[in-house]
Amino acid sequence: MSTTFLTSILIWLPIAGAIVVWLLPLSRYATGSIAVLASLIEVGFWIEQASRFNFHSSSLQMSEQANWFGTTGPAHHTRPELGISYHVGVYGFSVWLVGLTAVAMAACIGYGFWVGRDRPRAYFALMLLLTGATVGVFESQDLILFYAFFEAMLIPLYILIGVWGGAKRMEATVKFVIYTMAGSLIMLAAIVVYGLHAGTFDLVHGPTSASRWLFLGFMLAFAIKAPLFPFHGWLPDSYREAPPEVTAVLSGVIAKAGLYGMLRIAIPLFTDPTGSQVLPAQFYRTAILALAAAALVYGSFLAFRAPDFRGVVAYSSLAQSGLITLGLFSGTTLGLNGAVLQMVAHGLVSVSLFLLAGVVERRTTTGDFALLGGMARGRPVLATLLMALGVISLAVPGSANFAGEFLILAGAFKLHWWWAVIGAGAIVLAAMYMLRLISAVLHEARGSTVADEAMDVRPGELALLAPLVAGLLLLSAWPAAVSHHSFVGRWPNQPNPNVIRTPLP
Amino acid sequence: MSLHTPHIDWFALATILALLAASGVSLLGAVLVPAQRRRTFSAIVSKLGFVGGLVASIWLYVDSSGHSESVVSGGFLRDRWTALAQIILCGVGLATTLLSWEHLGRNDDHIAEFFALLLASAAGMAFFVGAGNLMTLFLSLEWFSIALYVMCAIDYEQEGSLEAGLKYLVVGSFGSAALLFGSALVYGATGTVSFHGIAAAIGAHGLTGDSLLAVGIALIVAGLGFKMSAAPFHMWTPDVYEGAPTPVTAWMSAATKVAALVLAFRLMRTAFPQDEHLWSVAFAVIAVASLVIGNLAALVQTNVKRLLAYSSISHAGFMLIGLSAGSALGGRALMYYLIPYSAMAFGSFAVVAARERELGEPVTLENLAGFGWERPFLGVAMWLFMFGFAGLPVGGGFVGKFYVFAAAYDHGWAWLVVVGVLATLVSLYYYLGVVRAMYMRAPALALAGGSPPRDRFLHIAVGMALVVSVGSMFAVSPLIDLARNAASSLPF
């Protein structure tokens, strides 16, 4: 049986689900059930995809290509038409990120069902739409298609935060949208220029480019989405004001789309595969590594100072984005392997932590450390979950995060020992802020908002969190599942070695 | 004495004739049909007229050859460029008929005249887009303009309607005068009014850069600028769009822009190809002005019709980017952009009309609160239109923007791409503001007045707009092929 349909179905199944959920005037319960079911089927299709994927091949697999616009008809213009196609497919690393999306979205949709969000049809439709768009980002192999999905993620997020968010959601959404769109539109301009000069918008067959401006245009969009210091201005507001499961998606999955953009576009299109010349990805390497290191250290310090549960996890995500960027731009296979592993591991950790923050907030109405404390007493499941996640997150040896960070640092060390020293220092900071979080929530004197009646984690919530934690433990036991099954040979394996030169320098 | 009449290819005028015939029948209905049946009668006539026009223009598109054929002694050009524009115009007209069917509910007096005028203005535009010389250009411009002046003022009991009509008349006449004066100067310089003749005369006499000709072109550009409501000729737009009955606004914002932009591209390409360096810069400047003024002014609007009026000015700017590129790619970009644009512009005003009917007062961002949840279909349609306007990938607006940017870059104007990108960024704020108003604000107190929803046809019209707007993103390839074939009938 042909397996290519799996790629497309992973994109369109949730979108079709969204339309069904939106159109059918069903009860809250039925609507939520359909959405959860759709997200579970999505996970099932991903498992099917991963099991049929050949991890020993470095080429694009399960790809589908269909003309979208601009290739048919006689080209009476001097140049061939803009070839833009619906081209999707997966590489090893894409499989893992698609899996992360499917699993994380299933947990978050389940969480939305569990807490009973208002206006369920709109809510679940948007969550499913977001799932499809994000998978689309991870699978598209055409720049315009990539851009379309990249932007399409923004629409459901905007409405999810704006409608179901906290009191200051309006400011948060405006900031979020303006920041991300600023980056994206500059990327669109870069895509247009690149595509017109390359004669194709296809990522697989596209040539590499020597233009620094184009590289910076792409990088800006990804750095805002990731986010990377100093483009993280939208992060604190959005992460605090969004509903917890949407914050979980933002940090666990959407941020990874920015990092994936670097991995799939900014690095391969701007690195010379033959190594004979210095192209922008190499030219700006030191600058980007410096920003990544700054994000790592600065984010860690901010996380240490943040006064609330979500603040700590939000800023730790900023730090982790920096760390992953360090791995991506180290230019070494070790670093790249570590970066992919860390994307998956941190995605799972931050989704779980934000959902747990939601769990705590539902019981105490706040995430403020001054009002929390002493929650471990009488709530063993909550304590166990938070401890386990905290320990994994601070990269205790043996955890998935440890493996990821170790690989990244080893990769960076090959470049220069200095980067590894900064990274290792930041890991110490991670221990500090995670332990502070754990003690502020679980231990210390009982907070004023923590009532005796506040329940432990309910079975329904455990059913959402347990698979995520189990996945993390599995990854901890066998990190090579991801890190040895992402790349075959050197990345980027661009089959087209040409370098195009645009009038832009 | 025998009168020599030119040979006329009546089939080439089929679209126009169908619309005119329907207009006449509708006008007769105003006299002959009893008042209580008049609305249904004239609406059906209008619908049949537009369907007939649509069929005729599709037929013309299929039947036309690759290049322009002049009919009526060069007064009208029959080609695919004309036919495609007529298809768009008739589609918008059909949707406008559906929207107007239940509108003007308190006042049945002028309903038959209203549809007659709608059809007459459509016929004028259908002629305008195919005009082949400066005389027919001016005549058809006045033809549809006069119909529009009256349509703006037709609901004279409504506050602002009469004012809108008067304002449009005064400013519109000024624009027409500029165009006429420019035509006279061009005639003075070249000695001919035919588009092809002008190009030949400029080539033969080496008139490129001739100052009389240059002033003539400038005045024609200004006159067309008024019709396409591009800055700095946009002053009338917000007031007229706000004051006119909303179905008329919907019709104007979509159809007038189609007609003016399509004709401008044809005129410049056909009559003044040697002066491309002049008009392409002029249109680029107008495009930038429209983008800046339209977007910045829209930021501070609270009345939704005014906001959409400024948004239409900024979109004129985007489409002018395609026009100013002047290339085949630019023509394609312009033609393609017009399809989702007219759907979104029409659709968004139709949604405003629905809200207006239930409130009985002008729609502002304030009283839009909660609309999205109360009327789920219209709400979703509106947010798709808004996101589509903003260039997010939920409609053809995204592909249209991509095409105009590509055309501008291809022309060597990277700076125009940058301006377009910045303008899009600014526009996001107010488009998202509409979505925010509909979904994210708690509805104000229940507003009194208005009538309960009675808008089956309005829903159909919005549905049509939605299908075209979203569908044009998926069916880019066929639409671009249509636009390519249309553009290839122009001389490049």
Of B425, B429, B476, the CB nearest to A69: B476
* Structure-block tokens of residue B438: 């509909």
The pLDDT value recorded for residue A3 is 77
Of A163, A178, A192, the CB nearest to B440: A163
Assign B118 to helix, strand or coil.
Answer: helix
Using CA coordinates, name the residue in chain A closest to B433: A174
What distance in Å separates the CA atoms of residue B295 and residue B288, rounded to the nearest whole number? 11
CA A101-A102-A104 angle, 5° bins: 65
What distance in Å separates the CA atoms of residue B131 and residue B141, rounded to the nearest whole number? 10
Query: How far is Cα of residue B390 from the mean position of the Cα atoms in its chain?
Result: 19
**Interface membership of A178 toward B (CB under 8 Å):** yes
Using CA coordinates, name the residue in chain A closest to B427: A178
Min Cα separation A15/chain B (Å)? 13
User: Please, are residues A355 and A464 in contact by the beta-carbon 8 Å criterion?
Assistant: yes
Of B383, B417, B428, the CB nearest to A192: B417
> What mean pLDDT is reported for chain B?
90
Please state the rounded mean pLDDT for residues B287-315: 94
Q: Strand A499-500 to strand A208-209: parallel, antiparallel, or no bridges (unpaired)?
A: parallel
The pLDDT value recorded for residue B4 is 75
- Nearest CA to B485 among B77, B67, B91? B67
Amino acid found at A481 = A
What distance in Å separates the CA atoms of residue A195 and residue A213, rounded to the nearest whole number? 14
The pLDDT value recorded for residue B453 is 61
pLDDT at position A504 over 80: no
Using a pLDDT cut of 90, give the percent of chain A over it. 51
Flag the least confident range among A124-133, A479-488, B225-234.
A479-488
Residue A478, CA distances (Å) to A332, A377, A481 in order: 22, 33, 6
What distance in Å separates the CA atoms of residue B282 and residue B217, rounded to the nearest whole number? 10
pLDDT at position B382 over 90: yes
The pLDDT value recorded for residue B336 is 93
Please state the rounded mean pLDDT for residues B55-79: 87
pLDDT at position A71 over 70: no
Chain A residues within an 8 Å CB radius of B391: 185
Chain B residues within an 8 Å CB radius of A73: 481, 484
pLDDT at position B437 over 60: yes
Min Cα separation B440/chain A (Å)? 5
The helix (run of H) or strand (run of E) holding residue A222 is helix A212-225
Chain A residues within an 8 Å CB radius of B397: none
What distance in Å separates the CA atoms of residue B327 and residue A77, rounded to the nearest whole number? 9
Which residue, among B432, B470, B488, B489, would best test binding to A if mutated, counting the most A CBs under 10 Å from its CB?
Answer: B432
Of A82, A162, A185, the CB nearest to B436: A162
Test B406 with A192 for CB contact under 8 angstroms.
yes
pLDDT at position B449 over 60: no
Radius of gyration of chain B (CA): 21
Q: How confident is the model at residue A265 (pLDDT cuts 50, 70, 90)?
A: very high
What distance in Å separates the CA atoms of residue A33 and residue B241, rounded to the nearest whole number? 46
The pLDDT value recorded for residue A76 is 40
Test B432 with A177 for CB contact under 8 angstroms.
yes
**Interface membership of B373 toward A (CB under 8 Å):** yes
Chain B residues within an 8 Å CB radius of A504: 414
**Interface membership of A72 toward B (CB under 8 Å):** yes
Taking residue A324's Cβ as centre, other Cβ atoms within 10 Å add up to 32
Please state the rounded mean pLDDT for residues A218-243: 90
pLDDT at position A273 over 50: yes
Higher pLDDT, B451 or B123: B123
Test A152 with B393 for CB contact under 8 angstroms.
yes
Q: Tally A–B CB contacts below 8 A.
A: 92
Question: pLDDT tens digit string along B253-297?
Answer: 999 999 999 999 999 999 999 888 899 999 999 999 999 999 999
The pLDDT value recorded for residue A73 is 39
User: Please, are residues B393 and A69 in contact by the beta-carbon 8 Å criterion?
Assistant: no
Test B440 with A162 for CB contact under 8 angstroms.
yes
Backbone angles phi, psi at B69, to 5 degrees: -115, 130
Question: pLDDT tens digit string along A347-397?
Answer: 999 999 999 999 999 888 888 888 888 888 888 999 999 999 998 988 888
The pLDDT value recorded for residue B102 is 79
User: Please, are residues A340 and A486 in contact by the beta-carbon 8 Å criterion?
Assistant: yes
Chain A residues within an 8 Å CB radius of B383: 159
pLDDT at position A499 over 90: no
Q: How confident is the model at residue B108 (pLDDT cuts 50, 70, 90)?
A: low
ipTM of the complex as predicted: 0.88
A38 Cβ neighbours under 8 A, 6+ residues apart: A13, A14, A17, A21, A128
What distance in Å separates the CA atoms of residue A453 and residue A161, rounded to the nearest whole number? 30
Of B399, B410, B436, the CB nearest to A170: B436
Q: How many CA atoms lie within 13 A of A225 on its CB side?
A: 31
Flag the least confident range among A203-207, A500-504, B265-269, B303-307.
A500-504
Q: Is the peptide bond before A492 cis (omega within 30 degrees of 0)?
A: yes
pLDDT at position A488 over 50: yes
What distance in Å separates the CA atoms of residue B328 and residue B335, rounded to the nearest whole number? 11
User: Please, are residues A228 and A168 in contact by the beta-carbon 8 Å criterion?
Assistant: no
pLDDT at position B448 over 80: no
What does the DSSP assignment read for B445-485?
Answer: SPPP-S-----HHHHHHHHHHHHHHHHHHHTHHHHHHHHHH
Residue B178, CA distances (Å) to A151, B216, B412 in order: 43, 9, 31
pLDDT at position B477 over 50: yes
Of B392, B409, B484, the CB nearest to A154: B392
Using CA coordinates, name the residue in chain B closest to A162: B440
Using CA coordinates, name the residue in chain B closest to A163: B440
What does the domain layout of chain A look like in residue ranges? 284-492
What does the DSSP assignment read for B372-384?
Answer: HHHSHHHHHHHHH
Taking residue A444's Cβ as centre, other Cβ atoms within 10 Å add up to 14
Which residue, among A77, A178, A192, would best test binding to B if mutated, counting the most B CBs under 10 Å from its CB?
Answer: A192
Answer left, alpha or beta for residue A83, where phi above 0 means left and psi between -120 and 50 means alpha. Answer: beta
Please state the rounded mean pLDDT for residues B71-80: 87
CA B254-B255-B258 angle, 5° bins: 90
Of B383, B399, B425, the CB nearest to A69: B399
Chain B 396-435, residues with CB within 8 Å of chain A CB atoms:
398-399, 401-402, 405-406, 409-410, 414, 417-418, 421, 424-425, 428-429, 432, 435
What distance in Å separates the CA atoms of residue B312 and residue B316, rounded to the nearest whole number? 6
Using CA coordinates, name the residue in chain B closest to A148: B393
The pLDDT value recorded for residue B6 is 72
The pLDDT value recorded for residue B446 is 55
The pLDDT value recorded for residue B119 is 96
Min Cα separation B295/chain A (Å)? 15
- Nearest CA to A258 among A358, A375, A347, A354? A347
Give the CA-trace dihedral at A427, A432, A434, A435, to 10 degrees: 140
> What mean pLDDT is reported for chain A?
88
Please state the rounded mean pLDDT for residues B177-190: 94
Test A77 with B329 for CB contact under 8 angstroms.
yes
Of B383, B421, B435, the CB nearest to A185: B421
Please state the rounded mean pLDDT for residues A17-43: 93
The pLDDT value recorded for residue A61 is 87
Please state the rounded mean pLDDT for residues A47-56: 91
Test B417 with A189 for CB contact under 8 angstroms.
yes
Please state the rounded mean pLDDT for residues B319-332: 90
Please state the rounded mean pLDDT for residues B184-205: 91
Min Cα separation A267/chain B (Å)? 24
Q: How many CA atoms lie within 13 A of A328 on its CB side?
A: 35
Q: Is the peptide bond before A230 cis (omega within 30 degrees of 0)?
A: yes
pLDDT at position B393 over 50: yes
Chain A residues within an 8 Å CB radius of B394: 152, 155
Highest mean pLDDT among A39-43, A459-463, B201-205: A39-43
**Interface membership of B481 toward A (CB under 8 Å):** yes
What does the DSSP assignment read for A392-410?
Answer: HHTT-TTSHHHHHHHHHHH
Q: How confident is the model at residue A79 (pLDDT cuts 50, 70, 90)?
A: very low
Longest dimension (CA), chain B: 78
What distance in Å separates the CA atoms of residue B135 and residue B131, rounded to the nearest whole number? 8
A391 Cβ neighbours under 8 A, 6+ residues apart: A399, A434
Chain B residues within an 8 Å CB radius of A162: 435-436, 439-440
Higher pLDDT, B327 or B87: B87
What does the domain layout of chain B look like in residue ranges? 10-487
* Structure-block tokens of residue B176: 């027409």
Test B476 with A70 for CB contact under 8 angstroms.
yes
**Interface membership of A181 toward B (CB under 8 Å):** yes
Assign A499 to helix, strand or coil.
Answer: strand
Q: Strand A61-69 to strand A84-90: parallel, antiparallel, or no bridges (unpaired)?
A: antiparallel
Q: How confident is the model at residue A77 (pLDDT cuts 50, 70, 90)?
A: very low
Chain B residues within an 8 Å CB radius of A154: 392
